[in-house]
Structure 1
Amino acid sequence: MKAAKIYGAKDIRVEETSVPSLEAGHVLIKVDYAGICGSDMHEYMAGTFPIRTQPVLGHEFSGTVVEIGEGVTEMQPGDKVAVEPLIACGHCANCRRGMANLCTNSSGYGYSLSGGFAEYAVVREQNAFKLPEGMDVKLGALVEPTAVAVHAVRQSTLRLGDTAAIFGAGPIGLLLLQAVKAAGASEIIVVEVSDERREKALELGATHVIHPVEADAVQQIKELTGGGVDVAFDAAGVQATFLSGVSAVRKGGEFKVVSLWEQPVTFSPNSFVKTEAKITGSYAYVNLFPEVIRLLARGIIDGNKVITSLIPLEDIVGKGFEALASDRKQCKILVDMQLS
């Protein structure tokens, strides 16, 4: 089969490789769609993560079950599925506390195990979630990033009627916007430099959008909300959004960091000490795939509005990673395994 393998920064190659062996309790999936994630971009731009122990990328993917291993009881060939990439150990202290996303002994598809930027993948039965009849399979590739957004909102202090700001309107930012809207935020302010992404944010329910180069985002947010939002989310991961996000929340509010960072930030702790604002992080998700599948299947979160391109596997570098690096109009790019 063909698969996209990463060997270092700016070094991804589509190569022939063997199909992973089907084991007991596992299913063989013909991959239909796989999404390029922000964390994939981090590895492409800055080099591979220490957790990577094999080269086949791709942890946001959906497909069709073509063969089942011994002991599989809930899956049948022909089932359309979304794959949850995280495999928690189930035994460490964090797993026992119900925080499988923070498992200290985890593994995962696309990192330590062969991922979804390949024609076929073998996954554990419990990591494959059936898609309901009539749900577009390409939306299955958005279940994983949508779960990241939904988890962040659930972990935040946001309540019905609260105000929210989202810094960055890439895939996670736009999914956060929809999750915040579904949670009942009364005002949703999106801060984004791209004209196209700001327009998309308005289309998806933002009440206000701000270009942070042309306007003072913090000042505008405070004017719009009478002193700052209840919760701000960082979905960009750069110095400017961190500083603005911390300053944009009301006294006692929350700044929730969802993005991954290539560089450390410098800031004054006085910015939240004097306001008793909270800075919190959100990482991955815990037991959310069934709920997120329903949100996407029923259009409560519109995944199609986030997808900007479908590309063949052979063009994953030029039309995928390089396009995302250079073209701010792009948002979620999916590799479509049916294209050639």
Structure 2
Amino acid sequence: MIEDDVPADPVASRRPAYLNDLAGGVDRFFEPRRTGCPWCGSDALRGRLRTTDLLLHKPGRFVLDECRDCGHVFQNPRLNPAGLEFYYRDCYDGLGEKNMTGMFESNRAGYRSRAELVRDIGASGEWLDVGMGHGHFCKEAAAVLPGVKFDGLDLGDGVDLARREGWIRTGYRGLFVDLADELAGRYDVVSMYHYLEHTAEPQRELAAAMAVLRPGGLLAIELPDPECRWAKVLGRWWMPWLQPQHLNLMPIGNLRAELVSRGFTVVAEQRAEPHSAIDVLAAAIMAVNALTIAGEDLPWRAAPPARWRRILRKATFIACVPLFVLASVADRISAPFGRRRGWSNAYRVVARRDVA
């Protein structure tokens, strides 16, 4: 989009569409509540978390249930396609694109760490990054793996952005499970970094990866770890819950067993290295943001906030800077020992597709 096309007030221009979407309430955005675990089928469920949208503050309440038998955590009731479109809108693209780009760009060390793990196992050839976002991983990974050709797949405008920047060779826009037949047997590596938790049926995504990979190819996955102790300490303020976007969160044992059952051999696991030391800081920022959100102009509200609310919001954030500094210090102090004692907020698994 060229600069002249940007509306003078992008929030106001989006307000009519959002208010129209909300005229009938948010119940229409959800599927019926499940009585069984979507991973193992058990009906031994318990409530794990009740929360709201702490990222964009769109209306709605969300529930995560946990399976007592396998430990799988999932959104219940789950968003339907209309709900996913509504809650993703203006998060990664549109109004949220600038913030998300800054967040993506800040994770260069994490991107390189992912690529180094797969490089050390012998990655080569053609690589498809599923759920590529804006393509920043492919950009950084190319420096680690200069002989690898990177393609990307996602639903949003980031696919086109990455292609224009030259960070990927080919970009696909659409659902991975829908494109799997077209891409069958084409890739030596498929990566799913913080992707499976966003999908409605992660087991179908793994089947798609099996189809797309050549025999002997590698599947690299990184996920939030629902067994992380920070999740219990911080409750709804643990950022990786990320409601309403995260639909499924799998313990590493579940993922490992599923991969083996589908014809993969797990060749590497990391429980500590993927940890991002931001749990306390992110919780503090989300809490202050929630406390002052009435001062933010949001298109899903009927009118902009009063000027005094905007001023109060800015003043509160300024006053809370020492709190944010202390939270960041707590993250850094806890990270070295926490990664070895079950406090890591993410894990990685690399699996090889069996040849026969």
TM-score normalised over the length of structure 1: 0.37
Instruction: Indicate the structure with greater helix content.
Output: 2
